[in-house]
Amino acid sequence: MSNADFDLFRINEDHEALRDAVRNLAENKIAPYAAEVDEKSEFPQAAYDALVASDFHAPHVPEDYDGVGADALATCIVIEEVARVCASSSLIPAVNKLGSLPLILGGSEDLKRRYLPPLASGAAGFSYGLSERDAGSDTAAMKTRAKADGDDFILTGQKSWITNAGFSEYYTVLAVTDTEAGRGKGISAFIVEKSDEGFTFGEKERKLGIKGSPTRELLFDNVRIPGDRMIGSPGTGLALALQTLDHTRVTIGAQAVGIAQGALDFALGYVKERQQFGKRIADFQGIQFMLADMAMTLEAARQMVYVAAAKSERGDADLPFFGAAAKCFASDVAMQVTTDAVQLLGGAGYTTDFPVERMMRDAKITQIYEGTNQVQRVVMARQLLAGR
């Protein structure tokens, strides 16, 4: 075997330099505000400004559209390192990729020229509108309609659980354009602008975690969308949406890894300082076994995410399995590691004086959004049964 056969598992010097840069920014300009952002349920504006100033807010945007052109692994490293200190802030680069990736994958050159440069500069954020009140895991059951009206489309309906809704300027929205085409076949993707007449937002959801990232409904009351804002061809929207998720589930895995790493880091520092029965609690074998298990499963999750990121970058045929597996495993690990971190701190871990309870609350959503972990297992099983 040649050295090239092992490239999949190697983090190169550029990636390590990127990690150092993002970690320095996160610790100095994001971490100091994380607890307040959570407590007040405020958008992390300081984090946004710092990420924009360093070109980390949307690192995936190609250089041809004024972006930095970070590869999939580099984007995951950015998200991971930000999530290590503030999960809410890590949703800035994650959701910018989620919202704009359908455009990158299937949009016309004109659309890319219009909407990607403002994203790259930080002048606009990009969100993703797929789920509805009665069409969450069952995306093909969506009821939002886009009815042709001359060269335009009239958009009616709503989308639920939309991350950074109200903050983002642009939204990729999926809607039924052909009610006769059959289940899932008559759905198209559009770009909706925040300023479009008839487009409004519901109240902010009151959530368990990621409180600094606004989650709201998108409401469409006869919103006129120019026909040239359709992404790709009519009827290809759902396929494009699912292709997007194959790639972006990897970023949720990266977020989960970052949250877990932050919790483990804090717990390690705590157990080395905390004294009971005349010695550090880190010296007790039961504590050491917990730490070992936390670190072991976390590293396994990290490697799964990095392998999936490499497959995302190459567009490998088995990405649907690996993307689902990385997201599912990493989020389950994050939930376990953060819960164990709270346990290691004992009663202190249950208070807001320390960050691990926030990390535990934040970790939970990684098992739910961009497809619940039950859905991820369905995706993996279908890939296996199909011989892929």
Active site residue 370: yes
- 3-state SS, residue 287: helix
Which of 134, 163, 157 minimizes the C-alpha distance to 43? 163
Q: Pairing relation of β-strands 215-226 and 199-201?
A: antiparallel
Instruction: Give the pairing of strands 187-193 and 145-149.
Output: unpaired
CB 234 within 8 A of CB 243: no
Output the CA torsion sign for 89, 348, 265, 293: negative
Q: Is 129 helix (H, G, I), strand (E, B) or coil?
A: strand
Measured CA to CA, the distance from residue 25 to residue 188 in angstroms comes to 39
Q: Beta-strand (E) ranges in 168-319?
A: 170-176, 187-193, 199-201, 215-226, 230-231, 275-276, 279-280
Q: From CA 128, how far away is CA 124, in angstroms rounded?
A: 14
With beta carbons less than 8 A apart as the criterion, state whether 38 and 88 touch.
Answer: yes
C-alpha–C-alpha distance, residues 94 and 45, integer Å: 16
- Asked if 168 and 124 touch (Cβ cutoff 8 Å), the reply is yes
CA torsion 165-330-89-210 (nearest 10°) is: 60
Q: Is 228 helix (H, G, I), strand (E, B) or coil?
A: helix
Q: One of 81, 217, 357, 370 is an active-site residue; which one?
A: 370
One-letter amino acid identity for 220?
A: F
Residues annotated as part of the active site: 370
